[in-house]
Amino acid sequence: MAARDEDGALSASQAASRALAHVGELISSDPVAVTSVEPTEDGWLIEVEVIEDRRIPSSSDLLALYELELGTDGDLLAYRRTRRYARGRADSGSGVG
């Protein structure tokens, strides 16, 4: 297990690694990347992008964003899918399209 800081809490990178492991246990989709890590009062809020449906060509894959809440010890408190989209589609918050 990864080293923790003085008060036993996980670092941001450790929390991200734990989130990827939790996603792998909870859903059958392939995790692609951690897209955000944010500290909260009770732990971490982490967003993970996954491939939900592989298609040919891969530019038409369906991706999803999952939000995971972890406690300071890395235990999963909650998770939910927040968005589902085609790989090539621009994010509406990016100012493109």
Sorted by where each begins, the domain ranges of the chain are 12-87
Q: CA 24, CA 22: separation in Å to the nearest integer?
A: 5
Mean pLDDT of 72-94: 84
Query: What pTM was estimated for this model as a whole?
Result: 0.80
Whole-number pLDDT of residue 59: 82
* DSSP β-bridge partners for residue 62: 53, 86
Helices (H), the chain: 12-26
User: For 14-37, what is each residue's pLDDT tens digit?
Assistant: 999 999 999 989 998 889 999 999
pLDDT of the residue at 12: 96
Tokens of 82: 């927040």
